[in-house]
Amino acid sequence: MVLTKESSIKKMEKGTIVTPAGFQASGMHTGVKRKRNDLGMIYCDVPASAAALYTQNIIQAAPLKVTKESIAEGGKLQAVIVNSGNANACTGKQGETDAYTMRRAAAEQLSLPEHTVAVSSTGIIGLDMPMDHIIPNIENLHLATDDKAAAAFGESILTTDTGSKSACHQAVIDGQTVTMAGSAKGSGMIEPNMGTMLAFVTTDAAIEPDMLHLALKEATDKTFNCITVDGDTSTNDMVLTMASGKAENDSLTPEHSDWETFTGLLQQTCEDLAKMIARDGEGATKLIEVGVDGAHDDDEAVKAAKTIVGSSLVKTAVYGADPNWGRIIAAVGRSGVKADADTIDVSLGSIPLLQNSQPLPFSEIEASDYLMNEDISISVNLNVGGGCGKAWGCDLTYDYVRINTSYRT
């Protein structure tokens, strides 16, 4: 266990999606993809409070419609069935039928009401679902609570990702140890809100669905909605969380004395996953964190940070280890936030580059050497207010083009 910045929250280095009490998982290869697992499931042994947020793209895949209906039925879920390799998006009425069929097959296998099952898909848009691979194999998903099962699930949701993304934290609430864990995928088409990403978060905290939704919205705005890879938004994006209540704390609300501990736990888990997604951008070699202070308000700070980290010119400069601060300040200027052209400070790591919009002497060699690291920090102070925010992204490399020119083949 490693202490995070929030001393009350402990990072569980070996925790997984099944570490919170009540949860099991499974994943397997069915042949939808050539090699890696492509079908997965999360299961809770009790009805769990559920909340989800979805892509802002007006073109939304059939599984999102089904999941929205499931959660709206009563705010409780017991299972999520997920496939990768096929997005089941832009597939018309047949796509909706297939999504409902996946839900029904999973519910029957687990002896659950259909509305307690969510459905999620990711992969190529516009292809009919290979139901002959998916449906017969749902019964072959052997749920378990061990690391192997969690890893199998983590692999089952990947597309162009280079590896699985998992995070787990614990905190004490009402004298009870509460665990929060997540598993995510995302590598390209990442421009929240949200990106071509899926994130599944489990917790054993006791909380009602409406309060869970409130907490998830706040956490997502500060994490998944602050990452960008390439400026595109997919049709299938979803972050879904389930709370089993097995920690037996008093039900959480904003009035609860430990509400901020719970929201901090959720935000830290989501932030870890979000940064893993940004780091694993298609072809990426570096994680870029942009922090903006002195903005008019926090929203404007995040807006400016996302504009900087999403700039193709900034991203290519980082890839090429070129400390070209002109690209950074130009991104601030076109971000649409309130700024004074004469008061902007810019630093690269610990190296000041600009003060009050005036160039400072710095070593090009030192700055270029810094940009050779895998983790890059860019700091900007607008000096017009008290707002602050962060955003995460990655560099833009030749491999991004290579990966996306051959995605279907």
Amino acid at 353: L
- 196 tagged catalytic: yes
Q: How far is CA 341 from CA 271, 345, 354, 374, in A?
A: 31, 10, 12, 31
All residues at 6 or more sequence positions from 142 whose CB lies less than 8 Å from its CB, including other chains? 26, 149
CB neighbours of 56 closer than 8 A, spacing ≥ 6? 192, 193, 194, 233
Report d(CA 96, CA 66) in Å as an integer.
8
Which residue from 164, 245, 157 is spatially nearest to 196, judged by alpha carbons? 157
Three-class DSSP labels, 298-329: HHHHHHHHHHHHHCHHHHHHHHCCCCCHHHHH
Q: How many whole angstroms separate alpha carbon 29 and alpha carbon 391?
A: 35
Residues facing residue 80 across a β-bridge: 42, 118
> Which is the catalytic residue, given 67, 179, 196, 202?
196
Compute the radius of gyration of the chain from its Cα atoms. 21
Buried b (16+ CB within 10 A) or exposed e, 70-109: bbeeebbbbbbbbbbbbbbbebeeebbebbbbbbebbbeb
Structure tokens belonging to residue 216: 């998830």
Candidates 155, 75, 169, 150; CA nearest to 122 is 155
Q: Is 314 exposed, middle or buried (0-12, 13-18, 19+ CB in 10 A)?
A: buried
Distance CA 30, CA 12 (A): 31
Active site residues: 196
